[in-house]
């Protein structure tokens, strides 16, 4: 009977088997990342317990999946966080400590030599004083003593300099090694992740398992550079990705894919509820109607979420970016964009973000000088990008450069529906602009019960550049918002008026070293005794 029971229990035994997971591929999302790792395992017939230690503690436990199962079923998948305070000192840590001890011994020898030389120098100084005070010392002896002291002092100082330099170098090396030790010992104190699998194999076999899981504290964000050499050349557009990760694991030589997908997006099918109409009810009856309205709103929100989820099931359209970085495979998947990088990369945890170029091309732009002297007498150069939405950009910051000079940072709102994107390339000090009022002495008069104010402004623009240019000049006429205030007699030769806003626009051509004046005027009538906020 006992033998029968033992034989019956043998197939149910679970043999623990610790294995190492090697990260092969990483898909980095805007927030989070999916890790694809592999492990070689030997499975016995029946149940097998496989443990993968020293993993990131930031793994999403519900995301762990196992692939590569040949005649194998998964009984359980478990993720735990362990703490490694009791971890034994590694061979690397032991070696570093031995190196430090060797350097400390070297420093002790150097200190001993330094002390001996300094003591010899002290004795020499004392003997020199004694010999100098001896009355029977001849001049020749004193010269001989002085020559010896000078020569030996120089030798001692040179030896002391060299010994102290070598000692300091040893100290620096100890500092480097100590930082490495602190890092390793710090890792020993950190929490780590553990994946435990219980697999049931129909046969004894060796197989390769693929483990995938999601981790937090990782992601990427887009950055851009826009460089304009001059107003005659296209703008050099550079699209880059900053990849960061603080998962606690270094990614070494992995295949990287950048994705705009959200792996945490809910995939639950929405439920459409009835849409109720009702008449007004007293307060006591409102609860039911409010609840129905909230349920309907929840259903609408669920439907909105499905739009993103169904993007994963769309038809894939693979495009090779035929530009400076054509090796990057850009995959459009409805609302999701992915970039498969052409080579392997290493990304260290808690390190500086890895910067990767995704796209680079020349963009046609319309350049324009602009000035609004009523606000600022400075002339600015602007560039308008056409069809910028075809670049498949994400919202992000762009650094602007003009003529190899850094101008500043602008935010690109990639969600904008505008067909054109306007950027400022900074001010141009070679364009001088002056705006002044020219009729101050006759600006105010009275007629019956009204006050009349006449305004005339003169704008002078000078081109101090050696090239001709066109500049867009804008100013404004006042718009009355009160029936008692009348604006009349407007003059604005050469300008276009936008009546709804009162904005005046001149397009002015200026030859090199040339200047041009523009004038505009108007009259404002309003009741006596009232005050109106008129520009000076």
Q: Per-residue pLDDT tens for 45-64? A: 999 999 999 899 999 999 99
* Whole-number pLDDT of residue 443: 57
CA–CA distance, 461 with 469 (Å, rounded to integer): 12
112-136: b or e for each residue (b if 16 or more CB lie within 10 Å)? ebeeebeeebeebeeebeeeeeeee
SS3 371: strand
DSSP secondary structure of 250-277: -EEEEEEEEE---TT---PPP-PPP---
Mean per-residue pLDDT for 28-41? 94
Indicate if the alpha-carbon torsion angle 104, 105, 106, 112 is positive or negative.
positive
Question: Rounded to whole angstroms, how far apart are CA atoms 425 and 398?
Answer: 12
The predicted structure's pLDDT at residue 317: 35
> Of 407, 367, 414, which is closest to residue 227 (Cα–Cα)?
407
**Under CATH, which architecture does the 14-84+190-215 domain have?**
Sandwich (2.60)
Confidence of residue 164 (pLDDT cuts 50, 70, 90): confident
Question: What are the residue boundaries of the structural domains of the chain, listed by start?
Answer: 14-84+190-215, 91-189, 431-527
How would you label 387-409 residue by residue, b for 16+ Cβ within 10 Å and e otherwise? ebbebbbbebebbbbbeeeebee
Confidence of residue 472 (pLDDT cuts 50, 70, 90): very high
The dihedral built from the CA positions of residue 521, 526, 528 and 529, taken in this order, carries a sign that is negative
pLDDT of 241 above 90: yes
Alpha carbon dihedral 205, 210, 216, 219, in 10-degree steps, equals 160
- In CATH terms, is domain 431-527 a member of 2.60.40? yes
Please compute, for residue 56, the number of CA atoms within 13 A of its CA located in the half-sphere on the CB side. 29
Question: For the chain, what's the residue count?
Answer: 536
Instruction: Assess whether the region 14-84+190-215 and the region 431-527 belong to the same CATH fold.
Output: yes
* CA angle, residues 408, 413, 416, in degrees to nearest 5: 140
Residues paired with 66 in a beta bridge: 211
Would strands 65-67 and 46-55 be described as parallel, antiparallel, or unpaired? Answer: unpaired
Helix (H, G, I), strand (E, B) or coil at 131: helix
Mean pLDDT of the chain: 81
Quick check: helix, strand or coil at residue 140?
A: helix
Q: Which residues is 422 bridged to in the sheet?
A: 384
258: how many CB neighbours lie within 10 A of its CB?
24
pLDDT band at 314 (very low <50, low <70, confident <90, very high): very low
Report the distance separating Cα 14 and Cα 251, nearest Å: 32
Residues β-bridged to residue 396 = 412
β-pair type (515-527, 450-463): antiparallel
Please check the confidence at residue 513 and state whether its pLDDT lies above 50. Answer: yes
What are the helix (H) ranges across 255-333?
A: 286-309
Torsion angle defined by CA atoms of residues 316, 219, 255 and 54, in that order, rounded to the nearest 10 degrees = -130
- Tell me the C-alpha distance between 59 and 257, whole Å: 19
CA distance 371 to 461: 10
**What number is the average pLDDT over the span 374-394?**
86
């Amino acid at each position: 009977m006992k033998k029968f029971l033992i034989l019956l229990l043998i197939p149910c035994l679970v043999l623990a088997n610790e294995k190492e997971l090697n990260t092969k591929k990483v898909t980095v999302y805007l927030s989070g990342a999916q890790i694809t790792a592999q492990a070689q395992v030997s499975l016995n017939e029946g149940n097998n317990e496989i443990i993968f230690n020293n993993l990131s503690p930031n793994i999403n436990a519900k995301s762990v999946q196992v692939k590569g199962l040949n005649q194998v079923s998964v009984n359980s998948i478990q993720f735990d966080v362990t703490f490694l305070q009791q971890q034994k000192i590694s061979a690397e840590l032991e070696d570093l400590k031995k190196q430090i001890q060797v350097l400390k011994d070297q420093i002790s020898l150097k200190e001993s030599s330094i002390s001996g030389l300094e003591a010899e120098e002290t004795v020499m100084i004392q003997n020199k004083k004694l010999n100098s005070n001896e009355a029977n010392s001849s001049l020749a002896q004193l010269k001989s003593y002085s020559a010896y002291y000078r020569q030996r002092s120089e030798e001692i100082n040179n030896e002391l300099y060299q010994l102290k330099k070598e000692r300091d170098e040893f100290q620096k090396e100890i500092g480097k090694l100590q930082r490495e030790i602190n890092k390793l010992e710090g890792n020993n104190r950190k929490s780590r992740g553990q994946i435990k699998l219980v697999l049931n194999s129909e046969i004894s076999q060796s197989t390769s398992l693929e483990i995938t899981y999601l981790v937090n504290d990782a992601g990427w964000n887009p950055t851009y550079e826009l460089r304009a050499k001059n107003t005659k050349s296209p703008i050099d557009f550079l699209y880059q990705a900053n990849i960061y990760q603080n998962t606690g694991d270094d990614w070494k030589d992995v295949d990287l894919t950048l994705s705009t997908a959200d792996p945490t997006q809910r995939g639950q099918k929405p439920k459409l509820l009835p849409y109720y109409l009702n008449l007004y009810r007293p307060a006591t009856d409102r609860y039911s109607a409010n609840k129905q309205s909230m349920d309907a709103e929840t259903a609408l929100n669920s439907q909105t979420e499905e739009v993103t989820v169904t993007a994963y099931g769309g038809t894939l359209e693979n495009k090779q970016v035929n530009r400076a970085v054509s090796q990057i495979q850009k995959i459009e998947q409805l609302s999701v964009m992915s970039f498969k990088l052409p080579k392997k990369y290493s990304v260290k945890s808690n390190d500086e973000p890895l910067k990767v170029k995704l796209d680079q091309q020349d963009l046609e732009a319309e350049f324009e000088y602009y000035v609004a002297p009523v606000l600022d007498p400075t002339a600015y150069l602007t560039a308008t990008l056409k069809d910028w939405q075809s670049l498949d950009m994400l919202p992000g910051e762009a650094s602007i450069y003009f003529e190899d000079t850094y101008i500043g940072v602008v935010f690109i709102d990639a969600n904008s529906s505008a067909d054109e994107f306007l950027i400022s390339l900074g001010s141009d000090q070679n364009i001088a602009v002056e705006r002044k009022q020219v009729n101050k002495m006759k600006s105010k008069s009275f007629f019956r019960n009204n006050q009349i104010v006449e305004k005339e402004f003169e704008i002078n623009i000078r081109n101090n550049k050696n090239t001709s240019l066109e500049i867009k000049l804008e100013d404004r006429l006042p718009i009355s918002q009160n029936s008692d205030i009348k604006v009349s007699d407007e003059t604005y030769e050469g300008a276009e008026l936008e009546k709804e806003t009162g904005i005046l626009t001149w397009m002015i051509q200026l030859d090199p070293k040339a200047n041009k004046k523009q004038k505009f005027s108007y009259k404002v009538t309003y009741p006596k005794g009232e005050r109106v906020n008129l520009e000076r």
